[in-house]
Amino acid sequence: MSEVTGADAAIDRIADLLTSAEAARPLVDPPSWMDADLTFGQLRLIYLLSHSGPQSIGQIAERFHVTLTSASQFADRVERQGLVERQHRRDDRRVVELQLTDAGHALVASMLGMQREVLRDIFSVFTGPELAQLEGLVRIMVERLAERAPASHEPAQTATT
């Protein structure tokens, strides 16, 4: 059994505070958009398309470390939900790409908007100087996480269909 460090204990106390504080519920409760009944892999695909634009089935298979058949079946399930659609690439009609539909864009916007709305509400309890302090700490956290992150930004896990 490993010994709990001071940092581990502090993280545990912070987690306990957040999960026990009724006002912080939006941080730990599932947001309303989760009613869309999407798997983690489907969310990853939607975010990929939102961030990187249209992708071929081959690109998706490579990115998620799955076969072309699996990527195509995976795309079929998200397409049936109306969040993505297949389009022929303009410069090469032989290539079919997946792109977000208006509903897919709206879902991404609502997820990002919900996160910001929750953060704005929760952080509104801080004063200006406290927010500046928090921002400084978050910057340090992001920098240190970037330092220890692997060189590749490719996800290590496979898509969950």
Domain membership of residue 160 (yes or no) is no
Q: Give the domain range for residue 72.
A: 33-118+125-148
Q: How many domains does the chain have?
A: 2
Domain membership of residue 112 (yes or no) is yes
Shared-domain flag, residues 70 and 26: no
Domain membership of residue 158 (yes or no) is no
pLDDT score, position 153: 47
**What pTM was computed for the model?**
0.56
pLDDT score, position 59: 94
Phi, psi dihedrals of residue 92, rounded to the nearest 5°: -155, 95
pLDDT score, position 3: 59
Kindly list the averaged pLDDT for each block of 10 residues, start to end, along the chain of length 161. Answer: 66 72 60 66 89 93 92 90 91 90 88 75 86 89 83 46 46
Shared-domain flag, residues 58 and 100: yes
DSSP class per residue in 29-58: SPPGGGGG---HHHHHHHHHHHHH--EEHH
pLDDT score, position 102: 92
pLDDT score, position 159: 43
Shared-domain flag, residues 2 and 47: no
Tokens representing residue 69 in the block: 């058949």
Phi, psi dihedrals of residue 29, rounded to the nearest 5°: -85, 150
Distance CA 49, CA 60 (A): 10
Shared-domain flag, residues 97 and 140: yes
